[in-house]
Amino acid sequence: MQPIDEIAKLSSAAHARGIAMHLDGARIWNAHVASGVSFAEYGKHFDTISVCLSKGLGSPIGSVMLSTKERVAEARIWRKRYGAGMRQVGIIAAAAHYALENNIARLAEDHARAKKIATALAAIDSSLVDPSKVHTNIVGLELSKIGITAAELTARCKDAGLWISALGPHYARLVTHLDFNDAQCDQSIEILKRALVVK
């Protein structure tokens, strides 16, 4: 998670050189809940922002672009030129509205479960993950020192019913989410403990 003071410095340097700043805000909701930084504070440093309504919030689909009226109008023109767009999107908007109204504050639950997983795995081997660096719902596992590849770990976990991502030869990632409860969190920890044993 990028600290807001670093974002401010980058934005200031870019704008001083006439460079526009765009925020891929797919996980801005998580950053807001974890940091306490307001959406307005994040937003003032960027010229355009895209936010995802499905990642974290649980809406089935949808992203929104935020900017000035002029930039949004231009983006709509380009969207049409590229053939993008959807019709009859009211039901999608209703789901997005529900997610925005009900699912932002509860992201703290996802963060707590991610921290619980990180803490349990660090107790097995501190080289796996530093729980103090897990602020949101993402847990990165560094596997290079324990003698197992990310592909091996993901295969073992999948066989036990837990899906995680291999993002490199020795790096795996776990993401907690809306449909992942406390019991599943505990079960996942047990699966990971067994899967991390070098055979």
Total number of domains in the chain: 2
The predicted model gives 79-89 an average pLDDT of: 86
In this structure, the answer to whether residues 186 and 117 fall within a common structural domain is yes
Q: What percent of the chain has pLDDT over 70?
A: 99
In this structure, the answer to whether residues 9 and 98 fall within a common structural domain is yes
| Contact (Cβ atoms closer than 8 angstroms) between residue 162 and residue 192 | yes
Q: How far is CA 160 from CA 12, 113, 157, 164, 190, in A?
A: 49, 19, 5, 11, 10
In this structure, the answer to whether residues 47 and 93 fall within a common structural domain is yes
Min mean pLDDT across 43-47, 53-57, 114-118, 181-185 is at: 53-57
Please identify, among 72, 102, 132, the residue that sits at the C-terminal boundary of a domain.
102
Residue 27 clears pLDDT 70, i.e. is over it = yes
What integer pLDDT is reported at residue 86 of this predicted model? Answer: 79
Domain carrying residue 17: 4-102
In this structure, the answer to whether residues 117 and 64 fall within a common structural domain is no
CA of residue 23 relative to chain centroid, distance: 14
Model pTM greater than 0.85? Answer: yes
Q: Give the DSSP per-residue string, 13-27.
A: HHHHTT---EEEETT
CATH number of the domain that 79 lies in? 3.40.640.10
Contacts of 186 (CB under 8 A, 6+ apart): none
In this structure, the answer to whether residues 46 and 91 fall within a common structural domain is yes
| Contact (Cβ atoms closer than 8 angstroms) between residue 55 and residue 96 | no
In this structure, the answer to whether residues 35 and 96 fall within a common structural domain is yes
In this structure, the answer to whether residues 150 and 94 fall within a common structural domain is no
What integer pLDDT is reported at residue 37 of this predicted model? Answer: 97
In this structure, the answer to whether residues 35 and 73 fall within a common structural domain is yes
CATH number of the domain that 163 lies in? 3.90.1150.10
What integer pLDDT is reported at residue 199 of this predicted model? Answer: 66
| Contact (Cβ atoms closer than 8 angstroms) between residue 61 and residue 87 | no
In this structure, the answer to whether residues 55 and 91 fall within a common structural domain is yes
In this structure, the answer to whether residues 91 and 137 fall within a common structural domain is no
* Averaged confidence pLDDT in the chain: 95
The predicted model gives 61-65 an average pLDDT of: 91
In this structure, the answer to whether residues 145 and 92 fall within a common structural domain is no
